[in-house]
Amino acid sequence: MILQTATALTQPDVAADTVGHSDFPLSCQWFAAHQWQPFPFQLQVWQAVTHGQSGMLHATTGAGKTYAVWMAAIERFALKKTGKSDPEKAPKSARRKAITQPLTVLWITPMRALAADTERALIAPVEALNLDWSIGLRTGDTNSAERSRQSKRLPTALITTPESLTLLLTRQDAAETFDSLKMVVVDEWHELIGNKRGVQLQLALARLRRWQPQLITWGLSATLGNLQHAMDVLIPNASNALLVQGKLAKNLIIDTLLPPGIERFPWAGHLGLRMLPQVVEEIESSPNSLIFTNTRSQCEIWYQALLEARPDWAGLIALHHGSLDRNVREWVENGLKEGTLKAVVCTSSLDLGVDFLPVERVLQIGSPKGVARLMQRAGRSGHAPGRASRLTVVPTHSLELIESVAAQDAIAARNVEPRESPQKPLDVLVQHLVTIALGGGFSADDLLAEVRSCYAYRQLTDDEWHWALAFVRHGGESLTAYPDYRRAIPDEHGVWHVPDAHLARRHRMSVGTIVSDASMLVKFWAKGASGKSLGSVEENFIARLKPGDHFLFGGRLLELVRVHEMTAFVRKATGKKAAVPRWNGGRLPLSTELANAMVARMDSAAHGHFDGPEMHMIKPLLQVQSDWSALPTNSNLLAECMQSREGWHLFLYPYAGRSVHLGLASLIAWRAGKHQPNTFSIAVNDYGLELLSATPVDWETMFKQDIFSTDHLLIDVIGSLNAGELAQRRFREIARISGLVFAGFPGAHKSARQVQASSSLFFDVFRKYDPNNLLLSQAQQEVLQQELEIDRLSTTLQHLQSKQLQLMHIKRPTPFAFPLLVERFRESSSSEKLADRIARMVADLEKAAGGGAYMPQESVTQQAKFNMQEKVYKKRERVRKTGLPSGVAHSDSSQENTTPRRTRIIPPKPRHGF
DNA sequence: GACCTGCTGCGGTGTG
């Protein structure tokens, strides 16, 4: 059932009109007096909860979701059960109150900071109504005094994280602990549903429901495309559940910061420093701003650039990203909360968890990559009911003008990305088995039914289940000799337990599904001793520096003093020039929703429609594209062929995001190579792909054949890409989650490289001696699903088949082709050659465009030089590492979790019969 | 002196 509610009510009389003032429950009256008039959707939630119904509440950030559910919980469980509040007594802090009411409500948030904020929010009404409820917080930050208090008895409402909940399930007395639980609330469910953390939570909730079949479950979500699925995953038998959409008349304004002129605006590039003066102006004109960047190094660079432009802002602006030390980050968050900071440059680290912050202005530097992300970030401003949220996109190259306007279209049409639950990840299941074996033990049949009640495991086969049991019993076929892998064993009654206290401890220390990268701590070195911690950087970045070298980190210029035990000690440095660390993060491909909106804009441009200032501005560039070649449309697939000194180029623009393009390019190269032996170089970006061959290819004929066929897709993709190597990288995470590899005691600083080495060892051993190990196939599945987006590739292929091919022979690279050329050059083998090449290309382009009209890329040459250096470094590293004992396959940690930017493919020689 | 792609999130032990 879907209920759609009307516009927000800000006038008290309207609210009273709608919900009936006299029917106000006590808790609602409290809200009426202290907070605001309830929105209709809040009352819907209230009605459902007081009738014992589960459901999901979807509304924009800042709409009051937390209070909607909380006041309902109070009404149902505090006021009805324990009688009226007692206004005579002096209120006592609910945080320290003696526990008279047992654990009733469990509140789960994906972040510690959010948990702390939530605690503050929940306490207020409990104290004001003077309920005999106690509120408590349980995360990794909870101190030992509070922990021991909680180990005796949990508070009435416990706020926690998925990981901490799982840890509670490892308690021997878990069943009694949750005996009195009545309701679970999962906050920011959209953040969890699509990943393994969400699966871990699904398993934990199934456990709680076994003990409490009547458990009321509520999910809170924002910015999600597939609400029904999200509810189905959270609540089994969701047909009885209620989906409430709080439709607020929230104004979401997305606009674009236009460059002064399109003529000198780059065709490629990602930093966007060209826009610095305009951005400074925007920051100036507003009391406080958040400036989102897409990567951590970009964040550092922009912070520095802003300071250089406005030295008087020192102390007024700050930066925030995931590699900075927690203290630094908390300082920044507090500065935002208190309004003492004028601007913060950040990454997604501030997407969530900064509720109740007074931010006026949000800027997004570079591509937003997805609709949901942009909405989420826009929601950081005007974070209160009735106030407009505004976000301004700052393009870093010309085509991002279209991306920005496309994002506005997608938001207007509410085309938000869906998120799907992963399908039966066995590493998470294996971890869960040990968790439950610890938490009182299990009998196999009962637990199987419970596990299958989770959406992610609803199709778990008997074979898979027995494999998982065998795996926790003796580590599968190849590890039976090792006692460390006998983690759970059935007793004579068939109840599985963990046989060994040592293994139990190790398991508790490995709970969770987040696997971190290899990194090194950065600390100050003062007077011969270790000082304040600043954060962490990639091992391999530090390895490239020698003592005395300067680098930029956390907004400071630092000098490397020494490296000792996985810590880089630094001191403050002076000067101007420094290296900026590059972290290896995940890659965010352009989402389907945003890409489709872009193609739609391109299509209308091809038909002569240029609506809005962005399209108007980019018109001359699209004119060049269409003069030299053509524009892609909804019905046409644009392909461009070009001959250069390098060979024969094919450019194709499917607009399907970089990971699909990588798979697609490899596939085309592979299939083309079957018809005609050839060697291809590949380059991809979010908009298209390039195939470069040494000999000409008759693409026209080739496209008429089965090159876009979805037949044998899996086989061809696995064959064309080195899927085995990709799977090995994936396996590191699986090995950690499934408990094969122990990351060591906290603070022991076992190198993540060691973890990598041992997981590679397991990978090889399994492949040799236990090829049916299901964790191997899981690794391959994950590569196909997540890194290559095989489903999206398949739909892209179908889509391409239905399109009319428009093959253009071009004389020079078009505005669309140019960024792809640059992408490939970035790893060119000779920087001198590259410098010449770029210069020549720019000159050619300018000539072609009628004199000095286009400047495609800023500082490509220096960039190439740096890459060159890195390449030499990596090569040296590889040589150094060949000293490893044979049999221990090694994979460079800098390469983890990344798909190759460029692959050279040499397809197989045609076999007989072809 | 170089110089610039790739995000985020959690958790845990030891014992006189």
The predicted-structure confidence for A397-453, as pLDDT tens digits, reads as follows 999 999 999 999 999 998 999 999 999 999 999 999 999 999 999 999 999 999 999
Q: A490 in helix, strand or coil?
A: strand
Distance A473 CA to B14 C1' (A): 27
Question: Any atom of strand B under 7 A from CB of A322?
Answer: yes
Question: Residues 500-519 of chain A: which lie with beta carbon within 7 Å of strand B?
Answer: 505, 508-512, 514, 516
Query: Is the CB of residue A170 inside 7 Å of nucleic acid strand B?
Result: no
pLDDT on residue A871: 46
DSSP per-residue codes, A331-357: HHHHHHHHT--SEEEE-GGGTSS-TT-
- Express as a percent the part of chain A with pLDDT over 70: 82
Evaluate if the CB of A685 falls below 7 Å from strand B.
Answer: yes
CA→C1' distance for A146 and B13 (Å)? 18
For strand B, which nucleotides have at least one atom less than 7 Å from a protein CB? Answer: 1-14
Average pLDDT, chain A: 82
Spacing of A565 CA from B3 C1' in Å:
28
Q: Where is pLDDT greater, at A839 or A875?
A: A839
Most confident among A235-249, A291-305, A328-342, A554-568 (mean pLDDT): A291-305
Q: How far is the CA of A110 from the C1' of B9 (A)?
A: 7
Residues A465/A471, Cβ–Cβ less than 8 Å: no
Distance from the first to the final alpha carbon of chain A: 56
A589: nearest nucleotide, CA–C1' criterion? B6
Q: What is the pLDDT of residue A851?
A: 40
- Residue A592, φ and ψ in degrees, nearest 5: -60, -45
Asked whether residue A857's C-beta has any atom of DNA/RNA strand B within 7 A, the reply is no
pLDDT of residue A720: 81
C-alpha–C-alpha distance, residues A418 and A420, integer Å: 7
Summarised one tens digit per residue, pLDDT across range A62-82 is 677 888 899 889 888 887 654
- Say yes or no: Cβ of A444 under 7 A from any atom of strand B: no
Output the distance from A485 CA to B3 C1' rounded to whole Å. 47
Residues 869-898 of A with CB under 7 A from strand B: 869
Query: Rounded to an integer, what distance in angstroms lies between the CA atom of residue A296 and that of residue A400?
Result: 20
Which residues from 198-257 of A have any strand B atom under 7 Å from their CB?
A: none
Lowest mean pLDDT among A32-46, A564-578, A592-606: A32-46
Asked whether strand B has any atom less than 7 Å from the CB of A577, the reply is yes
pLDDT at site A829: 36
List the structure tokens of A797.
Answer: 């292929």
Tell me which protein residue sits closest to nucleotide B6, measuring alpha carbon to C1'. A587
d(CA A738, CA A423): 16
Question: At CA A674, angle to CA A671 and CA A679, rounded to 5?
Answer: 85
Whether residue A287 is predicted with pLDDT greater than 80 in this model: the reply is yes
**Phi-psi category of A570—alpha, beta or left, where left has phi over 0 and alpha has psi -120 to 50?**
beta
Position of tokens 């804009």? Answer: A601
Instruction: Please provide the size of chain A in residues.
Output: 914
DSSP 3-state of A496: strand
For residue A53, what pLDDT is reported? 94
Nucleotide nearest to A577 (CA to C1'): B1
Q: Is the CB of A270 under 7 A from strand B?
A: yes
pLDDT at A99 over 80: no
pLDDT reported for residue A631: 93
Nearest nucleotide (C1') to alpha carbon of A686: B6
Residue A640, number of CB atoms within 10 A of its CB: 25
The CA–C1' separation of A47 and B3, in angstroms, is 60
Find the Å distance, CA of residue A327 to C1' of nucleotide B8: 18
Residues 148-167, chain A, CB closer than 7 Å to nucleic strand B: 160-161, 163-164, 167
- Does residue A681 carry a pLDDT above 50? yes
Res. A87 pLDDT band, cuts 50 70 90:
low
Round and report the angstrom distance from CA (A191) to C1' (B8): 10
Residue A614 reports pLDDT greater than 90: yes
Greatest mean pLDDT among A20-34, A90-104, A148-162, A713-727? A148-162
Question: How many angstroms separate the CA atoms of A545 and A530, rounded?
Answer: 19
Residue A848's pLDDT is 54
The reported pLDDT for the residue numbered A24 is 54
Query: Which of the four pLDDT bands, split at 50, 70 and 90, describes residue A208?
Result: very high
Say what the pLDDT of residue A828 is.
Answer: 40
Nucleotide minimizing C1' to CA distance for residue A352: B8
pLDDT at A132 over 80: yes
B5 C1' to A684 CA distance, Å: 14
CA atoms within 13 A on the CB side of A335: 21
Res A899: pLDDT: 36
Residue A847 pLDDT > 60: no
Residue A26 has pLDDT above 70, yes or no: no
Ranking A379-388, A397-406, A835-844 by mean pLDDT, the lowest is: A835-844
Please report the pLDDT score of residue A740 as a whole number: 92
Closest nucleotide to A147, Cα to C1':
B12
Evaluate if the CB of A902 falls below 7 Å from strand B.
Answer: no
φ/ψ of A634, rounded to 5, equals -65, -30
Tell me, in Å, how far CA of A147 is from C1' of B13? 15
A480: left (phi over 0), alpha (psi -120 to 50) or beta: alpha
* CA of residue A397 to C1' of nucleotide B14, angstroms: 54
C1' (B11) to CA (A146) span, angstroms: 17
- Please work out, in degrees rounded to the nearest 5, the angle formed at the alpha carbon of residue A468 by the alpha carbons of A462 and A470: 100
Cα–Cα distance measured from residue A406 to residue A253, given in angstroms and rounded to the nearest whole number: 13
For the CA of A866 and the C1' of B4, the distance in angstroms is: 8
Query: What local confidence, expressed as pLDDT, does residue A354 receive?
Result: 59
pLDDT greater than 50 at residue A902: no
Strand B neighbours among A 276-305, CB < 7 A:
294-298, 301
